[in-house]
Each structure stands twice: as C-alpha cells, then as structure tokens.
Structure 1
Amino acid sequence: LPYLFFPSLLLSSLTSQLSYLSLCLSVLLCGIIDQQQKVICTKMQIFWPTLDPPISVYPWDVSRKPLCPKSPINPSKTDMKINKVKNHLNRLIPKRSFFNVNTTTSAAHSVATILNPKATYCIGDKLDILLVARDYSGQRKKYGGDFLRARISSPDLKAGASGTVTDFNNGTYLISFILFWEGRVTLSLLLIHPSEGVSSLWRARNRGYDKVIFTGQFANGSSWVFSECGLVLNTSAEMCPYLDPRDQEAFYCVKPPHVSCEALAQLKSKNKAISYLSDLEKSLFIRSNVGVEILKSFHPVSVSVCSKQTISLKEKCKPGMWSPVPTGYVWNNVWNLVTCNLSHFHTETQMNICLKGKLIYILGDSTTRQWIEYFIKNIKTLKSIDLHGFGNLRRQLVVDLERKIYIQWQKHGYPLVGSNSYSAKENEYIARVIDRIAGDKNTIIVFSLGQHFRFFPIDLFIRRAINIHKAIERLFQRSPETRVILKGENTREMNDDPERLSDFHGYIQAHILKDMFQDLNVSFIDAWDMTIAYGTNNVHPPQYVVRNQINMFLNYIC
C-alpha cells in the first residue's frame, strides 16, 4: 500500500478511497488486530512520532484517541538523538514567567563595569566587563538567560570583532573582548532580548508548524489549481503525501479534486495571521526593545603596539580546523582568523588557479546563492548554463570548459519560505543530493542550513542536520578525499518578525550545527561570528562580506 507511512492524523481522509484500509482501521479500533494489521500500525508508528506534532494539531480535542494502539516499538536512534538535543536545549532555556514588563531585564538599568581598567591597552590584551542585569525597577535579576551580543569596532579602520558572553545564571555576566588592532576601539553590548523574551520565543517556536501557509500550484490541463500545503496540516481532507521514508521527512498538500498528486508544479508561501505570544509577551519585541545598547556611557578605549610584544607565527588554514569564538576579526574590511593564516584569493586569476579542475556543489538557501552569484560576477571565464528553471530558487550551473571548473548551486528541500513561486519538482533534501555524489579529491560540497527553519519547531532542524550528518558519513566511506565545508548561518535584520525570525532562533541553530559536525572532517565557515564582527545585521550581507566568506572557502580547498 502506498499509504503505509501516513501519519495517523491523515488516515481518516482515505476512507472513501481505500476501503480495505478503512476496514483495517475499523478492525483496529475494535481491538481485533491480526498480524498483517500489526505491520500496518507498526509502520505508521515508526513514521508518525518523527514529526513530533505540536499540541496545536489538535487544539481543542484533547480526548482524541490514537488510531493505532501503543506498541513496544523503541524510538529510532534518530528520535533519541533529537530528544537528547531538545532536552539539552530545554535545560539551557528554562521557562521564565512574568506578569509585568517592569520585572524583565532593562538595558538602561543594568550596570556594566570594566574590570581592571587601563589608560592604554596593548594589542592582544583581554578586556573584561562585569554586567549586573537589573529590571526596570532597578532590582537585580536573580537568574540569567538574557540574549546578549558583544562587539568591538573601529569604524575608521573598518575593523570589528565579536566578544564572548559568560552567563553565571544568577543575573551576572562576564563579557570578554580580545583587542586585536591598534587605535581607538568602541565597545558595544546589546540586549537583544531579555531572558523572559527568550523563554517566550522558545515556547512559541515549538508550539506549531502553522506559522507559514504554503500554497501548492497543481497543473490541471491548461489551467492551474491551488491547494494548501505544509509540513503538518490540521484537516480531514484527502492528502497528497511527499515522503522520504528512510530519513523520515515529510511534506503534504491537500489533494485537489480530480487532480493527481504528481501534478504539483510550484509552491509559494506567506505568513499566517497567528501568534503563540500573549499581548504582554509581544510588548517585549517592539523595535525599541530589541537590540538596546547597554554600554551607552562607555568611552572608546585606546589600544597600542607594546614594545615587548612578539608576533607568533600561525600555520596555514587547513580543512577540519575549528576555532573558539571569536574565530577571527575584521581589519580594513578583511577577515582574519585567529588560529591560522588566510591566503588571499581576490583576483580572477587567483580564483581560477584555485578552482581549476574542481567540481563544486553549493547547497542551501539564498545566502549560499550569493556565492555562485559572486563567482559569476567576478570570474568572467565562467559561463552560465541555462537549465530552464525559473525564479531566484532555480538551480544554477556555471562552467569553464577550458579549466574544467564546474560549480552548481541548488536549494535545500522543504521548507522554503517566500512569496515568490518556485519549482516543486526540484525540491531535494541535501542528504539525498550528497548520496548521489560519487566524490573524489577534486569534488567539494558546501552546504548551509538555517534561515528557512526559524519558522518551525526545532525538531525539524535537528532531524535535517542529523540526516545530513549521516549522508556525509556515507560519503566519506566511499570517498574520504572529498572535501565538505559547512557555511554557518548569517545574522539578520532586527526589525523583522521576532517570533518567526529572531536571531535567537538562528543562534540556537548555529550552535546545533557546530556541535553536531565537529566529529567529522568538515571545514567550518563561522558566518555567525563573521557577520557580528562586520556588524551587518543583514540576512544577505554586502559583497565584501561574501568575498571574505568565499576567501575562507578557497583556503580550505587550495
């Protein structure tokens, strides 16, 4: 039966089409289960728990009983990994209730003090700040969890770097900066969200899959039929399932009458007018309360080259290097890594020499699409191949036949959020793409994951990351010489819808990826740390940032 992997939520819609399955379900509900029906239920239960539907799937009918009885089947290894990560995150993000905004963290009332201040600092010195968080009434906070962003900068020098935040979980924080360059250095510490807001965002994120409405466009002869689609749909209508049983990934559309499920041609989406935040919680996320400067009264510090300083020699950057934060700093708009030396591949000739003979797959969202657009703009010998797609999410391919350079960009699979239509036939999960790449010493895979997942419960993101991890393990078994680069998530604008798009969601995802892939020989481009250092606050950072991301990439492959 093609419906063996349907979630139990959808089975009722099949009664009119599959009388046999309807009979089976009736028998199950009566408690008469033969061996064949046990197999059916078993397979459904294997698939259904992986979606971990939020309580909003059945918002009112709490008495609804499962169609299949409980079985002794143990959770899959993937499910156990997902639960382990979720439990860890839940401990890190405890619930913080509040009844008045005045009891939440206030940037203006919090007190920051430089520890052991100096009139002049030396390059390489560490500067520490003790932050005591207070609420709007001036009362000291007794717990941590505030989402803070630390940065130093020298705008005249086009220089910047992130700082580290140590949360003592008692309302105090240690903010640490490394002073990388000479000159006047400005200190910044932003309160992005108070701990109460962080708790609210985390709860709201994991409540439902219904913050986005997907619309599927089905071909019906010479006309089009539109239907609702999504990762989880709360409806009794007949469904079109688009499933990956091996990796337990799923996407659905309501089946249009008299139209085949295979006729789905295009998709687009829009935000649904729904929120899981209370009016009180929403008040924490008005623009004036997001990203508020704590160090307004601080003057720039002076940094000099000290006579006794020695410059330690760093090795050349190599694949598999993972650095602690801050991973690097910006000076004169150029990204420098702390642990190793980066060569510069900024000219067309330098890039051509590096890319010669390379087969490069770039997988992800529009932040990696910026890479292939950069290559097209800056390497004139690359020629675009028309693959007859449409829209910004179409697959792109550029080649240089003389130098045997092949670069392809491809979007990741569901979910893809955006108001512009894109092809539903080119949706392929990254794990599946990696599985069909043979690999060799001249094959490079770049992948990124993040922005489109912020709208949905964290289970979805964790599962996708695990599936990609497994695919890379399989790749290295058949081709250990293939190089894989993980591009981290960018920070983005602060004035977007925080419930769906807050950088807090991206911060959590960025750390999940860093933790998950460190056991593999995968190179990492910490775009999160880089975009903080540049201070861009733009999901699509400027070209000079993209250039430095690509320069890191070229250092890893040449």
Structure 2
Amino acid sequence: MSETELEVLEMFNRIDAQVTKVTFNHFNHTTSPGNCLATITDPKNEYCMGDQIIVRLDMFDHLGNRKKHGGDFLRARIYSPEHRAGASGRIEDFNNRTYNVNFTLFWEGSVKVSLMLFHSSEGASALWRARNENYQYIQFTGRFKNLTEYVHIECGFHINTTEHVCEYLDQRDGEFFYCIKPENVLCEAFIDLVAGFRQNTHLSDLEKELFHRSSIGAEIKKQFEIIQVSQCNRTTSHADQKCKIGMTSPLPSGYFLQNVWKPSFCTLPSTPILEQMNTCLQKKMIYLMGDSTVRQWFDYFANTMKTLKFFDLHEGRPHGTRLALDMDKNLGIQWKKHGHPFVTTNWYTVKNHQYMPREIDLVPGDEHTALVITFGLHFRFFPITLFLRRAINIRKAVQRLLVRSPDTKVILKLENTREKYPDVERFSDFHGYLHNKALSLIFQDMNVGIIDAWDMTTAYASYDVHPPIDVVANQVKMFLTYIC
C-alpha cells in the first residue's frame, strides 16, 4: 500500500470515528424535532453585544423517549431580518443525546434563534453507510471519435464488465478512471464526457422514511423567546490584525450585518470592492480551480471590473476554461474545472481535463500569483475515499508549489451549503459537512488562506448550491484582503 493510500485510510478512520453508527427498527424510535427541547443555560435579564450564550438541546424520539446517543446533523444560527444580520452557532455533541450550541451576540437589537434538525442520527448513519458502499449513483457516458463518427460508451470509476477497458490512470497520485473500450477505436480517441443519475438506492425502505421533505431542516422547539441585545456601551471586539494567509479561522468565523461579512478573527478594509480590485489586482495572475461555485467568482470579477475582456479559448461549452484579461493592468483571471468526477448533464471535453494536483504543478508561481482551490460538491455522489485521496494529493501539490515559490498566495474555499434537496442520498449537506471536517485536518498548519464558505452560507441562510450575489461578493472581498 502506498504512502498516499495509507494516509487515505488513516483519514477515513478519523472521519468514520466521528459518525455515530446506529440502527433502528421503527421510525418512531428516531429523533423527533417536535419533541426535542432547546433551553438557554444561565439565562440573563439583559444581554449585551459581545455576550456568549449557550443553548442546550435535549433530544427525544417520536414517542417522547429520551435518545441514548448523539450524532444528529444539526444547523444553528442567530439572525435579525431587520438588520440583514446572521451568524452560525458552534455545536458541541456530547454523544449522550445532549448538545450545547454556542452563540456570540455580535449585534444590537432583536435576535432570533434557529435550531434545525436536518437529519436524525439514524439518518446520518444511513447516509454514511450508503455513500461508502458504491460508485453507482452516477452514470458516465464517454464519447469517442472514430474518424467522422462518434461512439458512445460507458465510463466510470468502477465498471462491471468482461469487455476490454481503457484505463486512464495517474500512477503517481493513484487516481483512476475507466471506459469500456469501443471496438476498433483507440483509447486515445476519448474526447468528451457527460453524466447522468442512476435510479438506484442503497437505503432500505425503512431508512427512506427519514428523508421526506418535511423531515429535512425541521425547526426544534425552543423554550425561550426572541433575545433582546443592548449595546451596553460596548462594540463588538475584533482582532486588530488584517485578515491574512495562515490565520486560524474559529467557529463562528464571522457574521453578516447589513449583508456585509465581518470576520470575528481579523479585519477587512472598508474600501469599496471595485476600488479594492483596481488597486489590488495590478500585475496579478489569478487561477480559480474547481467547481461552479468558484466560477461564480470569475463571473463576479467579470461583471464588476468592466475593463476585463474575455479571451476566447474556443471551447464553446458551459464548463470550458474561461479566461479574462485586462491588458492595461497586466491582469489575468482564469477558471478551470477540476478533474474527475465532474458531474454535469452537459458534454465537456476531456482533452484538457486534468486532476487538480497536475494543474497546480503547472503554476509557475510568484508574488503576483494567487491560486483559489475549491472542490467537493461533485464528490458527494461517491465514497469519501475518492475525495480524501484528491484532497491529500492537492495538499502535496500545494506544498510543492510553496517550496518552489513561497510568495504565491494559495486560498482554500470550503464547500458551501446547498438546497434542501429531496434526493438527500446523493446531495445531502451532511456529505459536505464531512468534507469540510476532513479538509480542516488535511490542510491544518499549512500557509494557506481559508474562506469558510460553509459558515458564511449558514449565517446567510443560503439554500442554493450557487449562493446569492451578496455571499459571493463577500467571499471575493475576503480573498482580495488575503492576497493584497
């Protein structure tokens, strides 16, 4: 077993240990949001800006019996619609059916508390088991060109066939992908790929009962009213340091106020974002690598900086590489999708389709170069070992980059929340939550900037795989602060 595979196994075991494994024989024995209780520990007559509050959760099943274990997948936030304000809560699982949710009261006024049960511990356990049992949620179809004709053939990470297969392997990093070999066609004739969803499931009928729409993101009953927060002659304390690469991001990492993100551990400049772009991005080369959530950044740059002009790379497809240039500023911004798995119902070329570690190896790097990495959403459909291997290989590539060019700025954008999707077996945020936990371990102590998109989208209450423009703008502003 290679060094990378040993590290993948070790990381899998660490993540696996954090998932509570439970079975059940009736829906009534699972966690009920309507029966659970939320109470404030040590309530006060007056709350001031900057105060910490702890909300205790006691979990019960549908029959009113106390649960015996933790492992529920929860989401917690405070918010004030009139102030367009929100912040996440830090959840502590004592694994004995009780939780503490820690909030910081960042702003003045009426503050509401939202405590949501996304999946019971039984549901989370079932999702974890089902995900790691198979590669069969997605059907890949490859297109091979044989002179003037196209041949369509099955592709994937594991193919159950007795026919000859084309192997597309990265021996160094242990990455793999296969297609059934078309008759009388070279494996090198593989040019395009598209994905579709197989109608198969690895959940039992009993487990499927846990994932009705009404059960996902249900509010937990609270034993308290709206919290009134006074200024008390205080201002919210912030670190004096400007946000910079290498800082440790706490949880919550910040909050929204008037839809402006305010980190809790560092300061962002008050400069308008367009002015910041114009002064910051002189002579910069920005590489955006990953999925469509960082392609949103590319679109935001292009729509905000009118001096940026698209350079036609003649790919002509929704997921083709994008490049924008500002010749006067000597500025270039490029977005490129990550390698397999890229799950889309639009055909895309595989001729310039590389795994991200290989793309990072091609970046020369210098003090004018910034690299943004994000991946994970397309990996939710596959066993987590695929994601862990890629994350470890990306970390090694970043280490190589920073050895040869320590002045290069590297930013890791974590996965964001997405829709309360009915097909939770494939799309659930529980998978993304575990991805982010793994990334925090794999990239710990590295000199990279972290943009906690999970925390930001939770605070904003975004339920969209492509967050609203307010969220994207605040992510970009944090990025600009990191690199300038």
TM-score norm. by structure 2 comes to 0.98
Name the counterpart of 1:251: 177
Of residues 181, 187, 191, the one that matches 2:113 is 187
2: CA distance, partners of 1:286 / 1:132? 23
| Deviation (angstroms), 1:518 | 1.8
Residue deviations 1:409-446, cap 9 Å, x none? 00000001111111111211110011111111111111
The answer on whether the counterparts of 1:187 and 1:298 sit within 8 Å (CA) in structure 2 is no
1:53 alignment partner in structure 2: none
Match for 1:316 among 235, 242, 265? 242
- Partner deviation per Cα, 1:221-258 (whole Å, 9 max, x = no partner): 22211000001111111111111111010111111111
Question: Which residue among 519, 530, 543 is the counterpart of 2:456?
Answer: 530
The answer to whether structure 1 residue 231 and structure 2 residue 161 are counterparts is no
Counterpart of 1:463 (choices 389, 393, 396) is: 389
Q: Does the CA contact (< 8 Å) of 2:417 and 2:454 recur in 1?
A: yes
Counterpart in 2 of 1:166?
A: 92
Distance 1:313 1:417 in 2: 41
Which of 192, 195, 198 aligns to 1:266? It is: 192
Give, as a single letter, the amino acid of the residue that structure 2 aligns with 1:508. L
Are positions 1:451 and 2:365 aligned together?
Answer: no
CA distance in 2, matches of 1:390, 1:426: 13
Distance across 1 between alignment mates of 2:371 and 2:216: 36
Check whether the contact 1:187–1:295 (CA below 8 A) recurs between aligned residues.
Answer: no
Aligned partners of 2:324, 2:234: CA distance in 1, in Å? 51
**SS of equivalent to 1:342:** coil
Whether the 8 Å CA contact 2:27–2:210 is kept in 1: the answer is yes
* Cα contact 2:15–2:438 (8 A) shared by 1: no
Contact 1:140 1:171 in 2 (8 A): yes
- Identity among equivalent positions (%) equals 51
Residue range with higher mean Cα deviation, 222-231 or 184-193: 222-231
Q: 1:330 to 1:234 in 2, by over 3 A?
A: same
Deviation at 1:285, TM superposition (A): 0.6
| 1:510 corresponds to 2:447 | no
2: distance between equivalents of 1:316 and 1:182?
A: 24
Residue 149 (structure 2) pairs with residue 211 (structure 1): no
Q: How far off its partner does 1:202 sit? A: 0.3
Tell me if the contact between 1:191 and 1:290 (Cα under 8 Å) persists in the aligned partners: yes
Given residue 423 of structure 1, which amino acid in structure 2 is its aligned partner?
T
Q: 2:78 aligns with which of 126, 132, 152?
A: 152
Counterpart residue number, 1:520? 446
| Shift in alpha-carbon separation, 1:540–1:310, aligned structure 2, 3 A | closer
Q: 1:325 matched to which residue of 2?
A: 251
The structure 1 segments of at least 4 consecutive aligned residues displaced by more than 4 Å after TM superposition are 308-313
SS of equivalent to 1:552: helix
Q: 2:30 aligns with which of 86, 98, 104?
A: 104
Aligned to 2:346: 420
2:362 counterpart residue number: 436
Structure 2: gaps (5+ residues): none
Say if 1:160 and 1:533, in contact at 8 Å, map to a contact too: yes
The separation in 1 between residues aligned to 2:36 and 2:50, in whole angstroms, is 28
1: distance between equivalents of 2:402 and 2:67?
A: 49
| 1:191–1:294 CA contact under 8 A, matched in 2 | yes
For the pair 1:501 / 2:427, whether they are aligned, the reply is yes
Residues 1:484 and 2:393 are matched in the alignment: no
Aligned to 1:287: 213
Larger Rg: 1
What is the aligned-residue RMSD (CA, Å)?
1.3
Q: Which amino acid aligns with 1:277?
A: L
Alpha-carbon distance in structure 2 between the residues aligned to 1:344 and 1:312: 14
Q: Deviations over 1:7-66 (max 9, x none)?
A: xxxxxxxxxxxxxxxxxxxxxxxxxxxxxxxxxxxxxxxxxxxxxxxxxxxxxxxxxxxx
Q: Deviations over 1:141-181 (max 9, x none)?
A: 01100001010000111000000111111111111111000
- Tell which has more relative contact order, 1 or 2 (C-alpha 8 A, sep 6+): 2
CA contact under 8 A between 1:125 and 1:178: conserved in structure 2? Answer: yes
CA offset at residue 298 of structure 1? 4.1
Displacement of 1:266 after TM fit?
1.1
| Alignment of 1:348 onto 2:274 | yes
Q: Which deviations, in whole Å up to 9, do the C-alpha atoms of 1:191-229 show, x marking residues without a partner?
A: 000000010000000000111000011112222110000
Contact persistence 1:390–1:422 (CA under 8 A): no
For the residues of structure 2 that align with 1:344 and 1:278, how far apart are their CA atoms? 53
**Partner residue in 1 for 2:231:** 305
Please give the alpha-carbon distance, in whole angstroms, between the structure 2 residues aligned to 1:464 and 1:209. Answer: 16
Among candidates 257, 263, 286, match of residue 337 of structure 1: 263
Inter-CA distance 311–503: structure 2 relative to 1 (3 Å threshold): closer
Give me the whole-angstrom Cα distance separating, in 2, the residues matched to 1:309 and 1:360. 36
Q: Determine helix, strand or coil for the equivalent of 2:470.
A: helix
Q: CA deviation at 1:130?
A: 1.1
CA contact (8 A) 2:371 2:411 kept: yes
CA contact (8 A) 1:218 1:226 kept: yes
Aligned to 1:553: 479
> Which segment is superposed worse, 369-378 or 116-125?
116-125
CA deviations 1:253-280 (Å, max 9, x no partner) are 1111111111111111111111000011
- Would the alpha carbon gap of residues 257 and 310 (structure 1) be closer, same or farther in structure 2, given more than 3 Å must change? closer
Q: Does the CA-based 8 Å contact 1:390-1:423 persist in structure 2?
A: no
Gaps of 5+ in 1: 1-74
Per the alignment, in what secondary structure is the counterpart of residue 247 of structure 1?
A: coil
Output the amino acid matched with 1:524.
Answer: I
- Distance in 2, Cα, partners of 1:503 & 1:228: 29
In structure 2, the CA distance between the partners of 1:310 and 1:260, relative to structure 1 (3 Å rule), is closer
Which residue of structure 1 aligns with residue 308 of structure 2? 382
The answer on whether the counterparts of 1:344 and 1:551 sit within 8 Å (CA) in structure 2 is no
Once residues 310 and 443 of structure 1 are traced to their aligned partners in structure 2, the CA distance between those partners, rounded to angstroms, is: 34
Structure 1 position 473 matched with structure 2 position 413: no
What letter is aligned with 1:458?
Answer: I
| Aligned-pair CA distance for 1:112 | 1.4
Residue of structure 2 equivalent to 1:365: 291
Name the CA distance, whole Å, in 2 between partners of 1:271 and 1:162: 33
In structure 2, relative to structure 1, the CA distance for the partners of 1:312 and 1:419 (3 Å cut) is closer
Query: Against the structure 1 CA distance between its residues 500 and 313, is the aligned structure 2 distance closer, same or farther, given a 3 Å change threshold?
Result: closer
How many residues are paired up?
A: 484
CA contact (8 A) 1:217 1:225 kept: yes
Q: Deviations over 1:379-411 (max 9, x none)?
A: 010110000012221000011111100111000
For residues 306 and 249 of structure 1, the distance between their equivalents in structure 2, rounded to whole angstroms, comes to 57
Rate the CA distance shift 1:193–1:324 in 2: closer, same or farther, 3 A: same
1:98-125 alpha-carbon deviations (Å, 9 max, x no partner): 0100000000011211112223310011
Cα pair 1:319 1:523 within 8 Å, conserved: yes
Q: Which amino acid aligns with 2:156?
A: G
Distance 1:509 1:546 in 2: 21
- Match of 1:66? none
2:38–2:55: 8 Å Cα contact kept in structure 1?
yes
Alpha-carbon displacement from aligned partner over 1:349-371 (angstroms, at most 9, x marks no partner) = 33121100001110000000001
